[in-house]
Amino acid sequence: MTMKYTEDHEWLNVDGDTAIVGITHHAQDALGDVVFVDLPEVGKAYAQKDVAGVVESVKAAADVYMPVSGTVTEVNEALRADPALANSDPLGAGWFFKVKLSDAGQLASLMDETAYTAFEKNA
């Protein structure tokens, strides 16, 4: 599996032609206590950078962008039931959705962990 990151503070854990998507520690720190998530529709195809969902906290709401083009294959119902998972375990149990990639070449435009760490320091 390969971890990739976006400038909008989403992460992807890529395994073959499928990726699990969530928000980073930086994103959940900036939002504060997450109280609601609007997850994408399973079976719907999205283009890279489309709004795929919304995460709301006690102090703000933020769009969750599709990091790569593809079709949503699963959403995290546990996150819908307990949005605080986005805070307590953003890189694990707090994942948002799974996507089947339609253009794996788009992964090249995303950051690896080293590049994201440097980017995050200036965010």
Please state, in angstroms and rounded to a whole number, the distance separating the CA atoms of residues 114 and 1.
16
Sign, CA torsion 92/96/98/103: negative
* pLDDT score for 13: 97
Return the domain boundaries, the chain. 2-102
* pLDDT score for 123: 74
Given a contact cutoff of 8 angstroms between Cβ atoms, the answer to whether 64 and 96 are in contact is yes
Where does the chain show beta strands of DSSP type E?
Answer: 2-5, 10-15, 18-23, 34-38, 45-46, 51-57, 61-65, 70-75, 97-101
Look up the CATH number of domain 2-102.
2.40.50.100
* pLDDT score for 27: 94
The total of other beta-carbon atoms located within 10 Å of residue 47's CB is: 13
Please state, in angstroms and rounded to a whole number, the distance separating the CA atoms of residues 90 and 97.
12
Q: What is the pLDDT of residues 3-35, one digit of tens each?
A: 999 999 999 999 999 999 999 999 999 999 999
Please report, in tens digits, the pLDDT of each residue of the chain (123 residues total): 799 999 999 999 999 999 999 999 999 999 999 999 999 999 999 999 999 999 999 988 999 999 999 999 999 999 999 999 999 999 999 999 999 999 999 999 999 999 999 999 887
